[in-house]
Structure 1
């Protein structure tokens, strides 16, 4: 099903909810709305993902701004944690829209998963990697995780 066919098949109230999710950058919720809209036959997951991408382009001027992820803002988030980080950790993740670089603060006590500080999803990883290094330097902690090579398997698609 093309994006146009799916969009026209959706009831008006579902279209409004899809656009509201897209504007708030809640892509998975937009896909869920399409999936559960009652359109028969039920749209394919890839069709829903494609329409979400199309609606994101159409509504680009209305999208809520992404949170600031500069060194000063992230240092403020790190200071607000229950304790000072022992390290920062970078981790690659992927979703239906591509690769995501996650930055977390590792707290010494209690040990566990790093506390999220930032996430980036883009094609050029130079700035996020530089921001993570600068933040680690400012906090005086090691930065663990992937280097400057980019996401794993990025060329294998």
Structure 2
């Protein structure tokens, strides 16, 4: 069965599996959908790459019907409102790299607090979120779009809150970069 295209692989899957996969796709649960396709098709020769392509085609098929996770707001008023809800006194705003197999690299914008000490997520900035925030035609320069958007939003929020802004590695994605220390 090797050499089949994605529509042929889709048709080979049992109806129950197809229904389950479409359910995951419509909820924007890509990893779960890929896992189901891969497990159900592996015995017939379907590889992980083929499973990813089958699910990608289902995303294209369903288009606007997919309940996508909404973008985090990056305007300073919304970020300040989120920060105001954090327990404790905000001592800094920090941008931290993270990544996964679905989104590649992205940046988390955090409020760092004292009394009680902690870090509180304010926004997750994926590439698509960043491009929409920066504007389709705007050049992020040498920075990854997520870094450019995080830098812009984080600095604006830090100024508004009169606290330092920390982004240890804006030029290069690095989830091991040094963290904020007061």
- TM superposition score category, shorter chain reference: 0.7 to 0.9
What are the within-5 Å matches in structure 2 for residues 109-124 of structure 1?
Answer: 109-112=115-118, 114-122=119-127, 124=145
Assess, with a 3 A threshold, how the Cα gap between structure 1 residues 134 and 36 changes in structure 2: closer, same or farther.
Answer: same
Q: Deviations over 1:103-148 (max 9, x none)?
A: 2222224445x32222122163333431222222222222212454
Rg comparison, structure with higher value: 2
| Alpha-carbon distance in structure 1 between the residues aligned to 2:19 and 2:95 | 37
TM-score, scaled to structure 2: 0.66
| Alpha-carbon distance in structure 1 between the residues aligned to 2:163 and 2:23 | 40
Q: Match of 1:102?
A: 108
Tell me which of 73, 79, 88 is aligned to 2:93.
88
Is the aligned partner of 1:70 residue 2:64? no
Count, aligned residues: 151
Asked if structure 2 preserves the Cα contact closer than 8 Å seen for 1:22 and 1:63, the reply is yes
Match of 1:86, SS state, is strand
What are the within-5 Å matches in structure 2 for residues 119-138 of structure 1?
Answer: 119-122=124-127, 124-125=145-146, 126-138=148-160
Two-structure CA RMSD over aligned residues (Å): 2.8
TM-score, scaled to structure 1: 0.74
